[in-house]
Structure 1
């Protein structure tokens, strides 16, 4: 499995899940080649595209509300020949009723501020004993998500990842934002 580097993606102003976080998050989904996966808040499509390469016999549904980001997803989909990705345009909670299938994994990279409702409604579309993985920058969102998931009786695991990159002749370390990766297994 080849992991795609950040610099390979076509980028714009839309947020992109960075390479190391993308790889860890995807590994936490426990994907198989034929999985149907949902990506909520797909941004540039970096996670969707990488998942499409892991689930090459499956299908990825990417939800994104921002028009510029959707254009980037389309461009990255074409660049990486990721034709097993479908893009759903709109706010996650507004388009949820149009998505009538069960998924083997759910990735939530963006919530637009209503993480509790997104977890509840998209969690209903997750198959039993399968994983939901969520990425956060803020402690407040992590707390709200963990509280919601525990109330829904998911098994929850949390890690925080901090990546620093060497820069310049002396290799001064420059930090990326620390990211929380929350993994939740649907028990019931």
Structure 2
């Protein structure tokens, strides 16, 4: 499987999960070709599109509320010729009842400040032993997530990742935000 580079995606002014974080997060999800996967807070659709390429015999559902981001996702779907990705417009908790269970994996890249409720509601749409991966920048969301997942009897792992890259043609290093990647397995 070829992973898509950041500069290949159409971005606009929307948040995007960076290449190395995207690769690690998808690897932690353990996505297979026939999986049904959910992306909550899809942004540019970089994670959704990459997962759709991997799940060539499966399905990806992406939820996004931002109008500009929705336009960018559609452009990326067209650019990468993805036909197994469905985009649901709206705030995650408002559209939750329209999202049919069950998913093999759930990725949460954005929460709009409602992380605990999103974990509870979308966790219920996850198959037994299904995986959930969440990305955060803030310690506050990390704490809420770990606390919520542990109270729901998930097996939980957290890693912190810092990526530094050379800038243009120089040897100067530029750092991205440090990211927390939380991986969880649903135990019933």
- Fold conserved (TM > 0.5)? yes
1:68 is paired with a residue whose SS is helix
Q: Deviations over 1:37-63 (max 9, x none)?
A: 000000000000000011000000000
Deviation at 1:101, TM superposition (A): 2.0
Aligned-partner Cα distance in 1 for 2:101–2:177: 34
Aligned-partner Cα distance in 1 for 2:83–2:44: 15
TM-score (norm 1): 0.98
1:130 aligns with 2:130: yes
Equivalent in the alignment of 1:72: 72
1:1-188 equivalences in 2 (<5 Å): 1-167=1-167, 170-188=170-188
Which runs of structure 1 show a deviation greater than 3 angstroms over 4 or more consecutive aligned residues?
none
Over the aligned positions, Cα root-mean-square deviation in angstroms equals 0.8
1:182 is paired with a residue whose SS is strand
Extract unaligned runs of 5+ from structure 2.
none
Q: Deviations over 1:128-172 (max 9, x none)?
A: 111000000001100000000000000000000000011255411
Aligned-partner Cα distance in 1 for 2:158–2:180: 7
Extract unaligned runs of 5+ from structure 1.
none
Compare 19-28 and 94-103 and name the one that shifted more: 94-103
